[in-house]
Amino acid sequence: MRAFVHSGKPGLENTYLTSVEKVEPQDGEVRVRLKTAGLNHRDIWNLYRRSEDAPPVVLGSDGAGVIEAIGKEVTNIQIGDEVIINPSLNWQVKSDSPPGDFEILGVPGHGTFAEYITIPVINIEPKPRYLSWEESGVLSLAALTAFRALFTRGRLMAEQTVLIPGIGSGVATFLLLMAKAAGARVIVTSRSEKKCERAIQLGADIAIKSDNDWKKGLVDEKIDLIIDSVGPAIWEKALSVLRIGGTLVNFGATTGDEVKINLRNLYFGQYNLLGTTMGSTEEFKEMLKFIGKHQIKPVLDKVFHHADSKEAILRMNEGSHFGKICLKMDW
Ligand SMILES: NC(=O)c1ccc[n+]([C@@H]2O[C@H](COP(=O)([O-])OP(=O)(O)OC[C@H]3O[C@@H](n4cnc5c(N)ncnc54)[C@H](OP(=O)(O)O)[C@@H]3O)[C@@H](O)[C@H]2O)c1
């Protein structure tokens, strides 16, 4: 089967389309013929985190397709069923943190940028009927992360105000749509004027440029919750506008791993600083129910052919995208 892999030295230069063996499904597994796959920033990080002598790996965490083969002990699923893939492996029940054997699909094991994937049946769910193949293929990782960050960890309630820095991100666009569906007031930031305009069209109440003075721009706002993945580039600005007793949930470190915190401001501000990552199967099902109820559709940035996976990753790396980038496997 055709697959887009990374091997050898770190970097996009060492990714290529090649032929990889199809894997027979074992007990409790199914093989999916992928129609579409979705990019996440993690596909870029993975190019720099693997050891040079690790075997070639198929990149990609998100995907949607059709069941093509079924292993033993698989019930309630038929060849031909249309499904999406939940890339959160070995984390079934909602809990404070994932179990020790938690893994994300696509590094260290083979991922979705391929014609087929063999995966535990517990990691597939029916494709939402109201979504296209492109929308279904980009949904899982970002929507699951956004759902747990907003509701399990952030405990967002209707009428609260939430701030989402870096609205161009795939996860951030889900955060915006989900928070609005939950009845919250939503403020977003972006480095790009154009992305601010797009966010307003999608329902954001206020959009401000990342390099503006946030305190001045948000002087009349009472921000209850911040959901951040940008990190150091906006951290101090973000904390300066959080209301006393408010909560900041972080799930990413796009601009660096370390931030400075003024401890006096932290304790006088009575802030709650929380971390989150992906989510469990239980939250994945809750997320699907929530988006179905509110008919939320992923914001699609651009669709690339599988053969152009490198160009797709380059687009994400340059940061000009708004929402999710999709790969189409229509060979
Ligand atoms: N822990 C988890 O489970 C989990 C899950 C998903 C993602 N993540 C992490 O979350 C982050 C976002 O993921 P993604 O896939 O949605 O990424 P993405 O689509 O590439 O988005 C990254 C966004 O960060 C903003 N940004 C980048 N550089 C910036 C800077 N210098 N100053 C201000 N803003 C900047 C940009 O927003 P603007 O262009 O609008 O400014 C950009 O669109 C990544 O770090 C990813 O690894 C973690």
Could you give the domains of the chain? 2-139+299-328 (3.90.180.10), 144-275 (3.40.50.720)
CA of 252 to the centre of ligand 1 (A): 7
Token readout for 183 is 């009845």
Q: What angle do CA 208, 250, 181 make, to 5 degrees?
A: 60
pLDDT in tens, 65-111: 999 999 999 998 999 999 999 999 999 999 999 999 999 999 999 99
CA of 204 to the centre of ligand 1 (A): 18
**In the chain, what is the greatest distance between 2 CA atoms, to the nearest angstrom?**
62
pLDDT in tens, 175-221: 999 999 999 999 999 999 999 999 999 999 999 999 999 999 999 99
The predicted structure's pLDDT at residue 162: 98
CA of 26 to the centre of ligand 1 (A): 36
Average pLDDT score, the chain = 97
The predicted structure's pLDDT at residue 330: 87
pLDDT in tens, 124-133: 999 999 999 9
Q: Atom 23, ligand 1: which residue's CA is nearest?
A: 169
The predicted structure's pLDDT at residue 3: 98
The predicted structure's pLDDT at residue 279: 98
Beta bridge partners of 206: 187
The predicted structure's pLDDT at residue 129: 98
Rounded alpha-carbon distances, angstroms, from residue 263 to 68, 174, 242, 270:
55, 32, 15, 10
- How far is residue 133's CA from residue 110's CA, in Å, rounded to a whole number? 21
- How far is residue 118's CA from residue 33's CA, in Å, rounded to a whole number? 9
Q: Atom 6, ligand 1: which residue's CA is nearest?
A: 142
**For range 301-308, the mean pLDDT:** 98
Lining residues, ligand 1, CB within 6 Å: 40-42, 45, 141-142, 145, 166-171, 190-192, 195, 210, 229-230, 233-234, 251-255, 277-278, 316, 319
Confidence of residue 331 (pLDDT cuts 50, 70, 90): confident
From 39, 41, 194, mutation site for ligand 1 pocket: most ligand atoms within 8 A of C-beta? 41
Q: Are strands 300-305 and 324-328 parallel, antiparallel or unpaired?
A: parallel
- How far is residue 160's CA from residue 44's CA, in Å, rounded to a whole number? 34
Residue 119: CB partners within 8 Å, gap ≥ 6?
29, 30, 31, 32, 85, 105
- Specify the ligand 1 atom closest to the Cα of 42: 47
Asked if 185 and 161 touch (Cβ cutoff 8 Å), the reply is yes
Asked if 219 and 236 touch (Cβ cutoff 8 Å), the reply is no
The predicted structure's pLDDT at residue 286: 98
pTM over 0.95: yes
Is the previous residue joined to 120 through a cis bond, with omega within 30 degrees of 0? no
The predicted structure's pLDDT at residue 289: 98
